[in-house]
Amino acid sequence: MTETNQEYSSALPPPCEVPGAWPPPAPPRRLLLHVTLFVATILTTTTAGALLEGVNLVRSPWLLYRGLPFSLSLLAILTAHEMGHYLVSRRHGLEVSLPYFLPGLPLPPLPGTFGALIRIRSPILDKRALLDVGISGPLAGMIFTVPILAAGLLLSRVLPPSPGVEESLQLGEPLLFRALSYLILGPVGADDLVLLHPVAFAGWLGLFITSLNLLPVGQLDGGHVMFALFPAWHRVISLACLVILGLCGIFYWPGWLLWAGIMAFLGVRHPPPACAWITLNPLRQILGVITIIVFLLTFTPVPFKLG
């Protein structure tokens, strides 16, 4: 996820040139904060992974290591996503922070983290940089998400129907998840139970995180991509997305209502780049369309349900 500090201004635009040298790295004091948050997130996600494995950490705290496959898989996805944003932002001469990892409650099904974000403190000058920054995180994250999900599905089990199975949390199945599941697990009966390995759950979370970031609203990654491709339609698309999420929240999963409210509070407007006349070349346009397809393959209207 990226957070920008761009604002509307009537001042003269800055020159449309990428600085010759990369901005200076983060100062040591701020670097310590990034490292501390990352280490804390390793601990909380490893704890969540151990609990997913059924480990009783009160009786057997030395078995905490069993949560590492989940933790390392999820952190690999998050790190790839944020470092994609970070490196591309610096390549375009933007002043950008290192990733802030956000530790969370390690209480399954909560994954022990609220994700990660970076802050872009300088204005994005043109649509080329805007698109590059928007697509870099999701595409980099997907490079790790797909093989992690595939490996996790190989470790998962399919159980036949059982009348004694208690009600449990069921995960939604985006199109990409369904395709990989069919290729690896084969046809699964409507009443069969798929016990996802924690690594597969990390891969599923990678799909979910990608779809959230690619929602075409405001200054989310998807908002950056939409503004770079269709600047005149960005506001209409953002409002339409909020309406659709609201309807999904009413008819499918109530969590979408909260997410739509947060995005509405943050705003659907996107500041135009200073050098708006600079156009995208065909390769960037193709990558933008591919990113939209990735969103369609990773989104599901019902991420969670009891069944």
What contacts 38, CB < 8 A, 6 or more positions away?
99, 101
Evaluate if residue 28 carries a pLDDT over 70.
Answer: no
pLDDT band at 150 (very low <50, low <70, confident <90, very high): very high
- What local confidence, expressed as pLDDT, does residue 164 receive? 56
Evaluate if residue 225 carries a pLDDT over 90.
Answer: yes
Alpha-carbon distance of 253 to 299, in angstroms, equals 13
**What is the CA angle 269-272-278, rounded to 5?**
150
SS3 23: coil
The more confidently predicted of residues 287 and 267 is: 287
The more confidently predicted of residues 205 and 277 is: 205
For residue range 234-277, list pLDDT tens digits in order: 999 999 999 999 999 999 999 999 999 999 998 888 888 888 78
- Please identify which residue in the block is written with the tokens 């974000």: 117
For residue range 103-128, list pLDDT tens digits in order: 999 988 889 999 999 999 888 889 99
pLDDT band at 67 (very low <50, low <70, confident <90, very high): very high
Kindly report which listed range (24-38, 58-72, 102-116, 277-291) carries the lowest average pLDDT score: 24-38
SS3 265: helix
Alpha-carbon distance of 69 to 29, in angstroms, equals 31
Average pLDDT, the chain: 89
Q: What is the dihedral of CA 49, 55, 61, 65, to 10 degrees?
A: -40
Q: For 292-301, what is the mean pLDDT? A: 97
Alpha helices in 13-126 (DSSP H): 28-52, 68-91
Kindly report which listed range (6-20, 203-217, 288-302) carries the lowest average pLDDT score: 6-20
Q: What is the pTM of this model?
A: 0.90
Evaluate if residue 4 carries a pLDDT over 90.
Answer: no
Alpha-carbon distance of 77 to 203, in angstroms, equals 8
The tokens describing 92, both together, are 């375009």
- What local confidence, expressed as pLDDT, does residue 192 receive? 77
- What local confidence, expressed as pLDDT, does residue 1 receive? 67
